[in-house]
């Protein structure tokens, strides 16, 4: 059964993984200003109920940050899977060497203080440098983060996103997070669906594609996803097409 824009209509027996920013919520000037539309939340809750709980959020944000937006204890992978809450509410945390990012925090704080419009988001296990309010500083932001990554070594990697570049442990990404969920009930044994909008989601697309699932890119740009929806509003409308099959 085909749904919106030719994308297969969602089914109750599938397992669903959603990015947050740019997928379920519109972007805002800063991460703290992001708000969730009531219709999106209602559709997500309906999908969660109809699928027997097989819906998870997979975000670069921390779990605490995601919870402050959704106000619902959904299964969630935060910081690209470094922290995760399963369907039972059990929390898992992969913490790299304590203090590994201390020098990077100090350096990035100094960079932000010198360049108006840049914003440092300290998520605890990862660091994100946002330049949405200063797009002319995009190249500078990426150079700065790459230089810091080289100092930290191969245990860390830079991850580009939409108007942001992050510093995170190289061993973790959204694909690993999806794989972790798929080993557990109620996700295990189901056809997987991953919906995301930017480069951080390509890791999730790769895993789900390899499993023969459905991958959906939100918005424009190159992607390995098999399907595409135009906007956050289109994602909300797609969820509303939930099939009983």
Catalytic residue list = 19
Rounded Cα–Cα distance for residues 181 and 229 (Å): 24
Instruction: Give the chain's end-to-end CA distance (angstroms, integer).
Output: 9
Task: Tell me the backbone φ, ψ of residue 57, rounded to 5 degrees.
Answer: -95, 135
Rounded Cα–Cα distance for residues 161 and 204 (Å): 14
Rounded Cα–Cα distance for residues 238 and 229 (Å): 9
> Does residue 120 sit in helix, strand or coil?
strand
The alpha helices in the chain, defined as continuous H runs, are 38-50, 63-70, 102-114, 138-152, 174-182, 202-210, 232-239
> Does residue 5 sit in helix, strand or coil?
helix
Residues forming beta bridges with residue 127, ordered by sequence position:
122, 167
Q: Is 188 exposed, middle or buried (0-12, 13-18, 19+ CB in 10 A)?
A: exposed
User: Do the beta carbons of residue 76 and residue 66 sit within 8 Å?
Assistant: yes
């Amino acid at each position: 059964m085909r749904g919106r824009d030719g994308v297969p209509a969602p089914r109750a027996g599938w397992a669903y993984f959603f990015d947050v920013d740019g997928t379920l919520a519109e972007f805002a000037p800063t991460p703290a200003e992001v708000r969730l539309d009531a219709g999106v939340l209602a559709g997500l809750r309906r999908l969660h109920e109809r699928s027997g709980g097989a819906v998870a959020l997979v975000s670069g944000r921390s779990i605490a940050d995601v919870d402050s937006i959704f106000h619902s204890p959904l299964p969630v992978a935060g910081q690209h899977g470094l922290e995760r809450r399963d369907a039972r509410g059990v929390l898992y945390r992969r913490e790299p060497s304590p203090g590994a990012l201390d020098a990077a925090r100090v350096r990035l704080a100094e960079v932000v203080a010198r360049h108006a419009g840049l914003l440092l988001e300290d998520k605890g296990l990862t660091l994100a440098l946002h330049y949405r309010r200063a797009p002319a500083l995009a190249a500078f932001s990426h150079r700065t983060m790459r230089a810091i990554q080289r100092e930290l070594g191969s245990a860390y990697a830079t991850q580009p996103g939409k108007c942001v570049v992050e510093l995170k442990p190289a061993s973790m990404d959204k694909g690993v997070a999806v794989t972790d969920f798929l080993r557990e009930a109620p996700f295990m044994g189901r056809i997987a669906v991953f919906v995301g909008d930017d480069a951080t989601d390509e890791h999730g697309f790769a895993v789900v594609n390899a499993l023969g699932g459905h991958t959906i890119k939100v918005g424009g740009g190159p992607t390995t996803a098999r399907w595409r929806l135009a906007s956050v509003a289109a994602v909300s409308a797609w969820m509303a097409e939930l099939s009983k099959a």
